[in-house]
Every structure is written in C-alpha cells, then in structure tokens.
C-alpha cells in the first residue's frame, strides 16, 4: 500500500503493508532512527512522535492511519542548523544520561509547549507522565523543559 | 507480524457496514489496545477494518437532556469538550486518568467500550450514568442500555457485523452530583486495582438515589445494585457509611491477580464508596 505523508516538513511516500507500525516505517524505511523503541506497548513513550499536532506512541499506530498526516520526529526539531530551545536546554541542564528516552521526552515536551508556552511544573510533569526515564530521576528533564519555556 | 495483513480504511459508515457484512475483519479505532496485542503476537487477525477516518463517528453534541458522544471521540476530545466538562464531569476525570497524553490522544470511548476490559477506566462512569449505546450495521440502528452490553468476561452483545456508533449520556442536573476515583500503582499509565464512578441525587444529607459503577472487581464492569438499594432514600450517617462500606465490599467479586489481591480490592472499593459518601456530608454541611 502506497502511503503519502509529510515528515519534518518534507513530503514522503512509502510502500508498506497497512498494519505495519509507524515506528518501523520511520526507522526502517525512512532511516529516521532518532525515534526509539522501548517497550512496544505504549508504556514508555520512547517512540513518541507528533502527528497532526498531537503526541502519540508510534508503536501503537498502524501506518495506514497516517496517510496524509503531518508528522514531526526528533530529527525535525532542529531548524536551519540550530537546535530547538528544548534540545539546547536539555544539554545545558543535563537532561539526558543514556539517551534512550530523550527523543520521546523532547517530542512530548515540544507537543506541550506548542499548545502551552508557559506551563507550570505540574503541567510539565503531566505532559511527560507517559515517558519513562530510568537514569535522571526526571528533575533535570523538568528543569530543562521549564528553562526552554522561559527562554525560548 | 503485520506483513501479510490487509486493511480497509473506509470514509463512511455505510462502507464500513458493508465490509463487516461479508468479512471477518477486525475493527481498529485508535489502536491503543489492539496494537499492543498485535505487537505481542497475540492477535489472530489478518484483515482489519480501520474506522479512524469515518467522520460520522466523531463529534460531541448537546441533544437537550443528553449528550451524544461519537464512538471515535478520544479521551483528549472528552477532556477538552466544554459540554462534557459541564454536564459529565466524571467522564473528564476518568479520561484524565487513562494512560498518559499519548494514549489520551489516540484511545477512543468506543474502543474502551468494545474492548470490554473489566478495567476500562471510562466504563464505570457510563455504568453510573445509565448511558445508552447506539449500535449500527447494514441492518439498521438499534439502541441498547450500556448496563446490558456486557454478557461475560470480555463478551459483549455486539453482533459480528455491528459497530458502536455513539454513546448517549444524560446530562448531570443541578441537583445531582457525580464522582470518579481510580486506584492504581501510580497516577499515569497504571491499570486500576479498583475504579469507581458514582452518580447521585442528594438533598441536604438525604440520598434520594445513587448509582455506583465499579471496575476491576468482577469479570465485567458492574453496577453495585444491592448497595444502591441499601442507600436509596436514606440520610447519610456515620452508621450508614459503615453499612455501605461493608455492603459493597461483599457485593463485588474480585480476584487476586498481578495488580492486586481480592482482599485489597474488596476493602479499598468499600473505602472509596465511603469517601464519596463523606464528601456528600462535608459538602452538604451536615458533619459526621
């Protein structure tokens, strides 16, 4: 099945079985390996991408449901060679250790800031509640998101 | 796992009914339950009916005494809807406790209903609200009380060629109140150990009537009819709260599984109902 969508502002077409996971199409067909697979069951958020403005788990979405969609992956955050303010803040605050959760954290945080540019700490916690990190203890990640919101 | 599968993605209900009338296609909406099974290779299906693009299944409408919620309404749609916030607040509370944002953006009310898990977070609310389902097929539309929909563990009254089209919930009136409480290991992502929704009409500390829906404590989401009868028409006193706590603890039929034990579930279900009753007393100023 031929499926056309827009990924990181570029129109792409893939030929894939319809029920294949968006995650696999991104990583295997489009070589966008920034999006990670953690649990494969919607618990960890490592595979988070933004589809039509909403953050979703790409391991739970069959690619046929994304025809015509606009998708943002972690590769689409930096623009014109400049890091997204979130990426810069994660660097400065030490918001990453092993890095497996980081793309999903950045994407979940981006989806939050796109609809709420000045979130409270509680709103940040709620926005990343579906993203598990086993290294940082979350404090530095929340600090980074807060910093990016204050200093975009 | 999905290499040989096929999917129909119709844009209209009529097309979807037609496909269901002559195939055994597995229906997929937001995929938050189904894709988990598929990823774990526990789903025995190769042909799918993807209903995600059927706009007729979307939308939340005010129909006077009731709200009509399209089966494809996501939890995010419910959380953001001003009329759900105003007239069905327990449904907002339940939606906010489903998974986390990623799941709330894809999971649908219709999917929660048809998936038929005894732990579905929205289901106790629909039970307590006395919701009504609109079910469609090529043979036409029919209506069914939500409280008659489940026929056993993970079994429903839905025929193979039918889809749940919408859910009708009566609007909460000014003299009624509702309540929702989910008990899990953590706030986000956890599946409940026990989950309860209540709708009641109270005047001062008298309970005119009460409807209690509970999940994760029986093979299906259930109403606590015996406990409801015990409470109806009574003044809420400390003694009645204790009777209700005992009654519902005995009325539910939980099992011990990896999430919790039978004993814990009985006890905490009683405590949650007691919490609601004490809230009524506190807000009506009677004191206990």
Strand partners, B198: B179, B212
Summarised one tens digit per residue, pLDDT across range B242-286 is 999 999 999 999 999 999 999 999 999 999 999 999 999 888 654
State mean pLDDT over B13-27.
Answer: 97
* Any B CB within 8 A of A49 CB: no
Q: Where are the domains of chain B?
A: 6-50, 56-170, 176-283
Contacts of A122 in chain B (CB under 8 A): none
- The residue of A47, A60, A106 whose CB has the most chain B CBs within 10 angstroms, and thus the best one to mutate to test that interface, is A60
For residue B132, the SS3 value is strand
Euclidean distance between the first and final Cα of chain A, in Å?
Answer: 41
Which pLDDT score is estimated for B3?
67
Summarised one tens digit per residue, pLDDT across range B61-120 is 999 999 999 999 999 999 999 999 999 999 999 999 999 999 999 999 999 999 999 999
CB-count burial class (<10 Å; 0-12, 13-18, 19+) for A9: exposed
Contact call for residues B36 and A41 (beta carbons, < 8 A): yes
How close A126 gets to chain B, by Cα (Å)? 8
Residue A42: pLDDT above 90? yes
Distance between CA atoms of residues B196 and B122, nearest Å: 10
- Where b means 16+ CB within 10 Å and e means fewer, A65-87 reads bbeebebbbbbbbeeeeeebbbb
Q: Which residues contact B92 (CB under 8 A, 6 or more apart)?
A: B78, B79, B84, B85
* Any B CB within 8 A of A48 CB: yes
Q: What percent of chain B has pLDDT over 70?
A: 97
B7-21, B32-46, B88-102: which has the minimum mean pLDDT? B32-46
Whether residue B102 and residue A130 make contact (CB cut-off 8 A), yes or no, is: yes
The topology under which CATH files domain B176-283 is: Enolase-like; domain 1 (3.30.390)
* Any B CB within 8 A of A41 CB: yes
Rg, chain A, Cα only: 15
The closest CB to that of A56, out of B5, B105, B187, belongs to: B105
Which pLDDT score is estimated for A27?
98
Provide the number of CB pairs (under 8 Å) joining chain A to chain B: 97
Residue in the structure block whose two tokens are 């799941």: B103
Taking the domain B56-170, which CATH number applies?
3.30.465.10
Complex ipTM > 0.90: yes
Contact call for residues A10 and A71 (beta carbons, < 8 A): no
Compute the Cα dihedral for B85, B89, B92, B97 and give only its sign: positive
Among residues A65, A126, A101, A2, which one has the least CA distance to residue B32? A65
State mean pLDDT over B172-178.
Answer: 96
Contact call for residues B213 and B223 (beta carbons, < 8 A): yes
User: Side-chain half-sphere of A54: how many Cα atoms within 13 Å?
Assistant: 17
Whether residue A42 and residue B4 make contact (CB cut-off 8 A), yes or no, is: no
Residue B12: pLDDT above 50? yes
Whether residue B101 and residue A129 make contact (CB cut-off 8 A), yes or no, is: yes
Euclidean distance between the first and final Cα of chain B, in Å?
Answer: 59
Token digits for B73? Answer: 């309404």
What are the two backbone dihedrals, phi and then psi, of residue A47, each rounded to the nearest 5 degrees? -95, 15
How close A59 gets to chain B, by Cα (Å)? 8
* Any A CB within 8 A of B39 CB: yes
Token digits for A110? Answer: 């981006």
Distance between CA atoms of residues B260 and B192, nearest Å: 9
Question: Model's pTM, two decimal places?
Answer: 0.96
Residue A19: pLDDT above 70? yes
Whether residue B189 and residue A129 make contact (CB cut-off 8 A), yes or no, is: yes
Contacts of B42 in chain A (CB under 8 A): none
The closest CB to that of B52, out of A19, A54, A65, belongs to: A65
For residue B100, the SS3 value is coil
- The residue of B72, B76, B102, B107 whose CB has the most chain A CBs within 10 angstroms, and thus the best one to mutate to test that interface, is B102
């Amino acid at each position: 099945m031929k499926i056309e969508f827009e990924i990181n502002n570029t129109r792409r077409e893939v030929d894939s079985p319809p029920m294949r996971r968006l995650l696999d199409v991104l990583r295997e067909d489009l070589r966008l390996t920034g999006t990670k697979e953690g649990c494969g069951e919607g618990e960890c958020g490592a595979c988070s991408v933004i589809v039509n403005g909403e953050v979703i788990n790409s391991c739970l979405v069959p690619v046929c449901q994304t025809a015509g969609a606009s998708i943002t992956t972690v590769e689409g955050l930096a623009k014109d060679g400049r890091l997204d303010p979130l990426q810069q803040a994660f660097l400065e605050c030490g918001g990453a250790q092993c890095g497996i959760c980081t793309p999903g954290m950045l994407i979940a945080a981006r989806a939050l800031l796109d609809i709420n540019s000045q979130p409270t700490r509680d709103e940040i916690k709620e926005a990343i509640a579906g993203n598990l990190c086993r290294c940082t203890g979350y404090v530095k990640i929340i600090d980074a998101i807060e910093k990016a919101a204050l200093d975009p | 796992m999905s290499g040989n599968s096929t999917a129909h993605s119709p844009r209209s209900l009529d097309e979807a009914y037609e496909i269901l009338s002559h195939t055994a296609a597995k229906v997929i909406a937001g995929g938050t339950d189904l894709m988990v099974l598929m990823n774990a290779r526990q789903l025995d299906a190769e042909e799918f009916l993807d209903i995600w693009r059927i706009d007729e299944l979307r939308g939340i409408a005010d129909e006077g005494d009731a709200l009509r919620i399209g089966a494809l309404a996501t939890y995010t749609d419910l959380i953001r809807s001003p009329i759900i916030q105003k007239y069905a607040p327990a449904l907002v509370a339940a939606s906010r406790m489903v998974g986390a944002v990623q799941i709330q953006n894809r999971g649908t009310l219709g999917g929660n209903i048809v998936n038929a898990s005894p732990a579905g977070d929205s289901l106790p609310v629909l039970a307590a609200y006395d919701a009504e389902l609109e079910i469609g097929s090529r043979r036409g539309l029919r209506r069914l009380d939500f409280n008659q929909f489940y026929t056993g563990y993970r079994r429903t009254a839905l025929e193979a060629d039918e889809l749940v089209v919408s859910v009708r919930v009566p609007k909460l009136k000014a003299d009624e109140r509702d309540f929702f409480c989910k008990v899990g290991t953590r706030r986000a992502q956890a599946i409940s150990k026990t989950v309860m929704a209540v709708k009641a009409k109270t005047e001062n500390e008298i309970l005119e009537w009460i409807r209690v829906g509970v999940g994760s404590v029986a093979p299906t989401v259930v109403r606590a009819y015996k406990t409801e009868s015990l409470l109806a028409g009574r003044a809420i006193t400390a003694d009645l709260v204790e009777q209700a706590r005992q009654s519902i603890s005995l009325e539910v039929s939980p099992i011990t599984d990896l999430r919790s034990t039978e004993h814990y579930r009985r006890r905490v279900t009683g405590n949650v109902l007691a919490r609601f009753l004490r809230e009524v007393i506190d807000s009506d100023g009677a004191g206990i």
